[in-house]
Copies of this chain bind each other. A is one copy, B any other.
Amino acid sequence: MSWSQPLRGVVPPVCTPLDAAGEVDTASLTRLVEHLVDGGVHGLFALGSSSEVAFLTDHQRTVALETVVDAVNGRVPVLAGAIDMTTPRVEEHARDALAVGADALVATAPFYARTHPVEIARHFRILRERVDLPLFAYDVPVSVHSKLSASLVRELAEDGTIIGLKDSSGDEGSLRRLVVELGGRHGRADGPAPNFSILTGSELTVDAVLLAGVDGVVPGLGNVDPAGYVRLYDAVRGGDLDIAVKEQERLVELFGLVDAGPESEMGRNSSAIGAFKHALRLLGVFSHGVTADPQIQLGADSVAFVEQHLRAAGLLPVR
């Protein structure tokens, strides 16, 4: 994989299908990779939050990543999450990802232990130094409970520690400042970090963030409707913003399926991931809609709610 150009486009975080015993369902995962590549996506992000990486054992992580890498077979780049608490543990996952053939790593700031911004910078620099794979910083305060500052990201971009940012902070104002500091929408290639790639976890404001100069998006919902996100991406890049807004609004309505699970009985995460997985099952991609322990499984009413959203979005025939 050459990284002479920054990564741009739709890069879904790949859901990890499980079988009834809770093990990685490699046949379903292979089908998902085809579903995504057929949909026209520009890259894949394996072992991210939407992949339930926090719930997979080390062995399961390796199986999942191997399956994705093999199924992709070089057609698009595969980014691999190396998600753990601190540098020594992340480094081990990073070595595994290198061995399996990932094209780049994605790592968060340390979590569980409280660290200082100077230590967070050191964390990324050590990882880059010790493992020979391009590195994306993953800003995900909802999980790690600290935010990467724009100045830290810019510093790591300019000295070549990271080749990109995966921003899931939801702070679009700060992100816009970063884009402008790096040269703005049209001047990025002449800016201080010309090959730097800015991706967001946005599912609901893709038209807007692309307009602002972000390079790509990593939408969890892109597992369910990759072609929709690719159409949306192409519409923005082609300058047809009316079509982009309409496609985005359709996807916003589809996104409503994440509310499938009853709030009084299960977590928001379980509800959203469970909904994506059952949607993929209803679309014939997955064999099961199972999420990992200790998550609560969606019940029949919740699954019907998911199905109704798929029909309304035109992904299943209306009965």
Contacts and interface: CB of A to CB of B under 8 A. Distances in A.
A38 to B, nearest CB: 27
A111 to B, nearest CB: 6
Given A55-B113, A120-B294, A172-B208, A88 B267 contact: no
Contacts of A58: 58, 92
A190 interface: no
A265 B114 CA distance: 13
Interface in A170-202: 170-173, 176-177, 180, 184-185, 202
A62 interface: no
A114 B85 contact: no
Contacts of A202: 173
Contacts of A123: 293-294
A119 B266 contact: yes
B116 A265 contact: yes
A253 interface: yes
B173 A294 contact: no
A205 B56 CA distance: 37
Given A241-B241, A245-B212, A265-B118, A22 B88 contact: yes
A86 B294 contact: yes
What's the dominant secondary structure at chain A's contact region?
helix
A143 B146 CA distance: 12
A268 B184 CA distance: 25
Contacts of A184: 249
Given A55-B89, A293-B86, A114 B267 contact: yes
Contact of A269 (B88, B114, B176): B114
A249 B89 CA distance: 38
A262 to B, nearest CB: 10
B173 A143 contact: no
Nearest to A124: B294
Interface string A125-169: 010000000000000001111000000000000000000000000
A126 B209 CA distance: 39
Interface residues of A, number: 71
Contacts of A270: 115-116, 119
Interface string A34-58: 0000000000000001001011111
A58 B267 CA distance: 29
A286 interface: no
Nearest to A142: B114
Question: Which 7 A-B pairs have CB atoms at the shortest separation, nearest pair first?
Answer: A208-B208, A116-B267, A123-B294, A173-B204, A54-B85, A122-B294, A87-B293
Interface of A: 22, 49, 52, 54-58, 60, 83, 85-89, 92, 110-116, 118-120, 122-123, 126, 142-145, 170-173, 176-177, 180, 184-185, 202-205, 207-209, 211-213, 241, 245, 248-249, 252-253, 255-256, 265-270, 292-296
Given A172-B205, A184-B249, A241-B241, 5 more contacts: A83-B112, A86-B293, A113-B269, A115-B269, A211-B211
